[in-house]
Structure 1
Amino acid sequence: MIRSLRVRLMLAATLLAVLFMLALLPAMQGAFSLALQDSIEQRLASDVTTLISAARVEGNHLQMPAQLPDERFNLTDSRLLGYIYDREGHLVWRSKGTREENINYKPRYDGRGNEFARISEANGQEFFVYDVEVKLLGGKSAAFSIVALQPVREYEVTLEGLRENLYLGFGAALLVLLALLWIGLTWGLQALRRLSQELDEIESGTRESLSEQHPRELLRLTGSLNRLLHSEREQRSRYRDSLDDLAHSLKTPLTVLQGVSEDMAQRPEDRDQAWVLQTQIERMSQQISYQLQRASLRKSGLVRHQVRLRPVLQSLCDTLDKVYRDKRVRVAFDLPEHCYVPIEQGALLEMLGNLLENAYRLCLGEVRISVRETLSGIELCVEDDGPGVPPDQRARILQRGERLDRQHPGQGIGLAVVKDIIESYNAKLTLGDSPMGGAAFRIHFPVV
């Protein structure tokens, strides 16, 4: 399927132009043919007039001069043929060029005056005939048919030459027309190209809304897009404010409950109940964080985010180095200096924070983060040299509440959050084995 609007319009215009020219060609060829036949008729009429002016009647007999005014009648190899017949259709004179021709033509002498026709001979030859009935010659009463003939072959050669020139002319005209159409379409679609550029600027964050410097036909579209952008920003802002208010309102009760549990833990008889309470409070806190994070995930809509990856990774690794300072994890970066990923910065921090925290916690001492560009997009990979994940458990650990590591506290929602974030940006998460020996989490961001 052709996705270019300019190419579609060009193909449609080309088809219409070709159909128009194909319909016009027969009409023009017919017009040329009629014009050429009219020209032949007029020339033969002039030749007949030459014969009439040279003819004399003496003693009821036709007398023709030895040399006619038109030299073509005097040449034996001339293609202009002249005949004169009497009333009964008997041939009484013929020009010198007719001696090699055997034409079986009989004039009708029916009182119509003159006739222009096309005749065919038994041998396949065709001729144009102009036949004039004459009743007076040199002021004397006479009855003759004076005929001038011309082979049709010359007409067909001329018509074929005209047809070839017509095809060449139409072909050249079609090429010029298509070139002009391409230039016109390119100029006419500049408005759409400017609109596309402005949308790219909005997606990259360098522009807030579409301008009004567009053709009238596009103003309604740009106005609707601007209203959509404004509505989306307001909705996202209200939603984030509501989430912040909810998180703040839940934070205080959880803090109070946490303090009560700590007080209970000081009393030996309540230590077991305090542990249960603290576990449930921690689970509630993690579940609230997960649900808030999940609810805040939204596709970027008309705004396309691009975040530089290295500073985010460096900041997260510096923090995790302090948390796991006794482990002394070595982190290797295999990515371009100026590498960008198509995701919002907050979502990127949440996603990489969970993946890197898992890698730091489970690795033996090495973690590697790499980026590889492919034809279909960008692939981000987080690997470690830890125990890895068995193939039959990989699908399960991406589900909410599922964990393989029971030695460390947690509710098993980190990878579920990562999965939700990745899917909200139309990306894909795959879990496999790393050449380092541990797990390899690969995130593929498609081309946008």
Structure 2
Amino acid sequence: MGASLRVRLMLGAAVMAVLFMLALLPALRGAFVIALEQSIQQRLAADASALIAAARVENGHLQMPEKLPNEEFDNLDARQLGYIYDSDGRLVWQSRSSRDERLDYRPRYDGQTHEFLRITDGEEGEFFVYDVEVDLLRGQKAAFSIVTMQPLADYKSMYDGFVNQLYLWLGAALLVLLGLLWFGLTWGFRSLRGLSAELDEVESGSRDRLSDEHPRELLRLTKSLNRLLDSERLQRERYRHSLDDLAHSLKTPLSVLQGVSETIAARPVDREQARVLQGQIERMSQQIGYQLQRASLRKSGLVRHRVQLAPLLDNLCDALDKVYREKRVRMARDFDPGLMMPMERGALLEMLGNLLENAFRLCLGHIRVSAEVRDGCCELRVEDDGPGVPVDQRDRILKRGERLDTQHPGQGIGTAVVKDIIESYDGELFLQDSSLGGAEFRIRFPLL
């Protein structure tokens, strides 16, 4: 069985949400890296401006104060590094914080004013570098490169913390999004649940047609189903009326023939011909009755009927007890009193009536009717303590297309009607020995 439409849509939306989050993750990381590098550049530029403000030139030589305004440069344990190079790339000054560093960096004095870059040193690791060229210091001509640096490792923990938080935020956002999607789909599918409830009512027979109180997208479907329901209902009514008309039209000719046969039977010389004629009239009457019952007891294609078994069985047993009063038949029941059979009332009445009539007629005095629902099927058993059905006759009875009435003229058409009703409801009929000593008719109907 396929998954529900809501689950399929939810799975599709979940996949799209996950793909969106996966695409969003590198974009957010890239944006954070850009913002981080911009803040680092601004800080290093501010440090370089502090060095420029503290520097002065005397007799063409650079002079730096003993104590700089930015204490980070004077702290040996600090990670803020400062360097000053002349136009030839020679180091002319470095901060105390950089005394222990062995970086191989050479500025390019090429008139580019300033640049921000990242360098890698095999021993010291990676550094952010801000290099600004100075042509004038306090109004005097000068040519220096002011360089400030900071290790990349100082920001590594900040970046890792942001990435971890980003995973948590996106994960939480994904869960919230999926919850909102599920809520939205549940709310949006209320109309489908309403349509499904109305279809259940139509199948159970408590509603004739679907209402028009549905979204526009479903109105075409509901109108088509209503047209189908109306068409099926009208067709069934016309079919029943036609069958009734046929039965009435045939009843009179058969009665006339029956009267003629009785007149002929009064003459001794024609008694044998009258007997044959009466037998054929009886067979015609049985066949007409059989075909009428067979045609009128087909199940509906759209309506799913359910009938309580116990009250219907009470009515049948009361009638059969009067017919077979002298046998004093004991009826045993083994089923839940509230059990519902998945059949139309008329079909169940005809099927069970034929089975019980055979059981009452052939039993010695004991009949048992049992029913249960299991494995998605409704199972019904009718058993008796009579002579049973010979083994060599069972295949003929159960074989599709074989009927007892064609094998035994004048014996009735009950089993054939029972088989046709069962087949019209996609059921199965099994015939076997009963623990009571007679025959057991076991019927299985699928629960739709």
TM tier relative to shorter chain: over 0.9
Q: Please give the residue correspondences for 1:6-85 in structure 2 after superposition, counting only pairs within 5 Å.
A: 6-85=6-85
Equivalent residues of 1:371, 1:378 under 8 A apart: yes
Q: Which amino acid aligns with 1:393?
A: Q
Q: Does the alignment pair 1:339 with 2:370?
A: no
- Separation in 1, partners of 2:2, 2:424: 29
What's the CA shift string for 1:11-41, capped at 9, x where partnerless?
0111111111111211221111111111111
Equivalent residues of 1:335, 1:372 under 8 A apart: yes
Note the C-alpha offset of 1:241: 0.3
Q: Which amino acid aligns with 1:273?
A: Q
For residue 285 of structure 1, what is the aligned residue in structure 2? 285
Note the C-alpha offset of 1:270: 2.4
Note the C-alpha offset of 1:100: 2.1
- Separation in 2, partners of 1:298, 1:70: 99
Note the C-alpha offset of 1:377: 2.3
Cα–Cα, structure 1 residues 402 and 206, in superposed 2: closer, same or farther, change >3 Å? closer
Cα–Cα, structure 1 residues 293 and 441, in superposed 2: closer, same or farther, change >3 Å? same
Secondary structure at the aligned position of 1:326 is classed as helix
Further displaced range: 264-273 or 119-128? 264-273
Cα–Cα, structure 1 residues 2 and 35, in superposed 2: closer, same or farther, change >3 Å? farther
- Separation in 2, partners of 1:2, 1:258: 60
Q: Which amino acid aligns with 2:16?
A: L
For residue 190 of structure 1, what is the aligned residue in structure 2? 190
Q: Does the alignment pair 1:303 with 2:309?
A: no
Secondary structure at the aligned position of 1:212 is classed as coil
Secondary structure at the aligned position of 2:141 is classed as strand
- Separation in 2, partners of 1:366, 1:124: 103
Further displaced range: 265-274 or 212-221? 265-274
Further displaced range: 78-87 or 423-432? 423-432
Cα–Cα, structure 1 residues 402 and 208, in superposed 2: closer, same or farther, change >3 Å? closer
Equivalent residues of 1:321, 1:329 under 8 A apart: yes
- Separation in 1, partners of 2:135, 2:36: 30
What is the percent sequence identity of the aligned residues?
A: 65
TM (normalized to structure 2)? 0.95
Q: Please give the residue correspondences for 1:19-418 in structure 2 after superposition, counting only pairs within 5 Å.
A: 19-123=19-123, 125-398=125-398, 399-402=401-404, 409-411=410-412, 413-418=413-418
- Separation in 1, partners of 2:262, 2:322: 26
- Separation in 2, partners of 1:226, 1:6: 25
- Separation in 2, partners of 1:366, 1:64: 123
Further displaced range: 243-252 or 370-379? 370-379
Q: Which amino acid aligns with 1:137?
A: L
Note the C-alpha offset of 1:10: 0.5
Note the C-alpha offset of 1:368: 0.5
Structure 1 unaligned blocks of 5 or more: none
- Separation in 2, partners of 1:390, 1:404: 17
What's the CA shift string for 1:121-163, capped at 9, x where partnerless?
1226111110011111122211111111111122332222222
Further displaced range: 388-397 or 66-75? 388-397
Equivalent residues of 1:307, 1:345 under 8 A apart: yes
Note the C-alpha offset of 1:404: 11
Note the C-alpha offset of 1:328: 2.1
- Separation in 2, partners of 1:40, 1:68: 21
Secondary structure at the aligned position of 2:326 is classed as coil
Secondary structure at the aligned position of 2:130 is classed as strand
Secondary structure at the aligned position of 1:229 is classed as helix
Q: Which amino acid aligns with 2:152?
A: V
What's the CA shift string for 1:405-439, capped at 9, x where partnerless?
96x9415x321211111111122222222221222
- Separation in 2, partners of 1:391, 1:128: 98
Structure 2 unaligned blocks of 5 or more: none
For residue 424 of structure 2, what is the aligned residue in structure 1? 424
What's the CA shift string for 1:196-216, capped at 9, x where partnerless?
111111222222221111111
| Aligned residue pair count | 446
- Separation in 1, partners of 2:261, 2:324: 27
Secondary structure at the aligned position of 1:291 is classed as helix
Equivalent residues of 1:2, 1:8 under 8 A apart: no
Q: Which amino acid aligns with 2:255?
A: T
- Separation in 2, partners of 1:107, 1:191: 72
Note the C-alpha offset of 1:392: 4.1
Compute the RMSD of aligned alpha carbons.
1.8
- Separation in 1, partners of 2:371, 2:124: 83
Equivalent residues of 1:370, 1:381 under 8 A apart: yes
- Separation in 2, partners of 1:404, 1:326: 31
- Separation in 2, partners of 1:419, 1:282: 22
- Separation in 2, partners of 1:272, 1:442: 42
Secondary structure at the aligned position of 1:68 is classed as coil
Note the C-alpha offset of 1:296: 2.5
Q: Which amino acid aligns with 1:446?
A: P
- Separation in 2, partners of 1:401, 1:447: 27
- Separation in 1, partners of 2:347, 2:174: 56
Cα–Cα, structure 1 residues 401 and 377, in superposed 2: closer, same or farther, change >3 Å? closer
